[in-house]
Amino acid sequence: MIMKKRLLVMLEMQDAMNTRVNSDWRQAGNAWYRAIWTECAEMLDHYGWKWWKHQQPDLEQVQLELVDIMHFAMSDYLLQEADIDLVGSRIADELLSPRHCEDIRVAIETMAQSTIAQQSMHFSDFANIMALIGMDFDQLYRSYIGKNVLNFFRQDHGYKDGSYTKIWQGREDNEHLVEVLASLDSETAGFREDVYRGLQQRYPG
């Protein structure tokens, strides 16, 4: 199954990223669920919920929040199960069984509430939101790989000690990432390396 194969790639990359930040991340006691529900609040703000003012849903930002949530949720699942193959199967099964809620604001709140109650996210809630914004798994995979590479790029260029420059030529690095991804083919074997190289060519440091 293509989804399962790609999920395993993503899980390996997530483990590598977490290890880069903290070699003992599995023993660090990080509250991954807390990171998830706070991202849900940001996602709701990007979609819009204030009835007293005009708001236009920013679906690109909603997608970016989902990608960030993917990082945290996979990290949580990797702590729950040591066998990465089983983790990949579990996530795939849940993604293929989305919860059915037609109101995206309620769907986001439901995911946040469930995550707080269980101190863990369920990917059926995640898949429901993906469907509501028209995001398929290929888009999730492509965006996840890009953001993971950007996170490594940030670490390589001083993110932890504060020397990293996040604004390039008047725009955030996330905006440059979107343009780099749009110029590349995610099916090529060197996709990750190409993303990193594209970022390096744009970085002013």
Token reading at 67: 């990608």
Beta carbons of 128 and 101 less than 8 angstroms apart: yes
Q: Is the pLDDT of residue 133 over 80?
A: yes
Fold that domain 1-135 belongs to in CATH: all-alpha NTP pyrophosphatase fold (1.10.4010)
Would you state the pLDDT for residue 97?
96
Which of the four pLDDT bands, split at 50, 70 and 90, describes residue 187? Answer: confident
Portion of the chain with pLDDT greater than 70, in percent: 100
Encode pLDDT of 55-101 as tens digits. 999 898 899 899 999 999 999 999 999 999 999 999 999 999 999 99
> What is the Cα–Cα distance from 142 to 201, expressed in whole angstroms?
20
Strand partners, 167: 172
Element (H, E) at 20: helix 2-21
Residues in the chain: 205
Encode pLDDT of 10-44 as tens digits. 999 999 999 998 999 999 999 999 999 999 999 99
> What is the Cα–Cα distance from 87 to 109, expressed in whole angstroms?
25
- How many C-beta neighbours within 10 Å does residue 66 have? 23
Element (H, E) at 184: none
Would you state the pLDDT for residue 13?
94
Would you state the pLDDT for residue 166?
92
> What is the Cα–Cα distance from 188 to 174, expressed in whole angstroms?
22
Token reading at 142: 């492509």
Encode pLDDT of 139-185 as tens digits. 999 999 999 999 999 999 999 889 999 999 898 898 899 899 888 88
Q: Is the pLDDT of residue 205 over 80?
A: no
> What is the Cα–Cα distance from 192 to 186, expressed in whole angstroms?
8
> What is the Cα–Cα distance from 34 to 126, expressed in whole angstroms?
15
pTM confidence score: 0.89
Would you state the pLDDT for residue 60?
86
| Portions of the chain given CATH number 1.10.4010.10 | 1-135
Q: What are phi and psi of 171, to 5 degrees?
A: -135, 150
